[in-house]
Each structure stands twice: as structure tokens, then as C-alpha cells.
Amino acid sequence: MQTVHEIQQEGIRFIIGIPDYPLNLWVDHFFVSYGNPGFSQKRVFPNNNVDIFFNLGSLNKGKLEHATHGFDFKDTVVSGLRSSFMSISPTGSFDIAGMRFKLSGFSSLFDIPAIEIANENLCAYDVLGTEANRI
């Protein structure tokens, strides 16, 4: 890792690591978040990147700002480019690891144009198939 940043906020410890070359050609950063949340809802702001979230703790409820329905985040989720914020509501312990790909990184590695999953949060196995096991 080139750089590691750590902060603690509202009962959650956030660790962000910037990968070294050559992984940094595709992955912007890795992240780990864990603890007992002192909040009932957290907003994740829009970005131009694809994220993969691995839920290692309790169920989390998610919803995109303009979506008519939310989703349960209990395993691994591929979160596409977002044009609005996403709300996350934890139901217990908060233990999430993941990675944010660079704009073309996800497409290059998985041969899936990121625009195809824009404003979506999908089960990783539905998007990546057996590739999800390799991650």
C-alpha cells in the first residue's frame, strides 16, 4: 500500500488504503469500516466509480435517493456509478470491506461497461458470476 488513512467517526473506524503499482491502474482504493454505529442512517455520496462492498457484519438496508424500493445488503454488492446519494441503515454491527475501482478499472478487469450498472446495487454473483469468488 502506498498510503493508509484512518479516521474514527460515530462509533465506526474507517481505514482507506491506496494500492501500489500495478494494481493502482485499476483500483482507486481499498476500504474497511467496522464498529458499532452511533447513527441510524449514513449517506454515501455520488461518484463516477464502481464499488464492491463485502458485508462481514449484520444486515444493512440500502436505498438510492430516487429509487422506489431499497435493497438488503447482507453479502457482497456491486454498486454502480451513482448520480444521487445512497442511504445505508445498519441493523447491528457494521463490518464492511471493499474496493473502489477507477473509472475504467472495473470495465477493464471484468469486461462489463460501468454504464450498464449505473444507479444499481446488485448482488456480486449476479454481476460477476464465478469471478466474484476470485475477489
Percentage with pLDDT > 70 across the chain: 97
- Spatial distance between the Cα atoms of 27 and 106, rounded to a whole number of angstroms: 8
pLDDT at 52: 94
- The band of 11, judged by pLDDT with boundaries at 50, 70 and 90, is very high
Q: Is the confidence at residue 12, as pLDDT, over 90?
A: yes
pLDDT at 73: 87
Query: First-to-last CA distance in the chain?
Result: 18
pLDDT at 121: 87
pLDDT at 106: 93
User: Phi and psi at residue 58, in whole multiples of 5°?
Assistant: -70, 165
pLDDT digits 0-9 by tens, 50-95: 999 999 999 999 998 888 888 888 889 999 988 888 899 999 999 9
94-101 and 3-9 strand pairing:
unpaired
**What is the enclosing helix (H) or strand (E) of 123?**
strand 121-123
119: left (phi over 0), alpha (psi -120 to 50) or beta: left
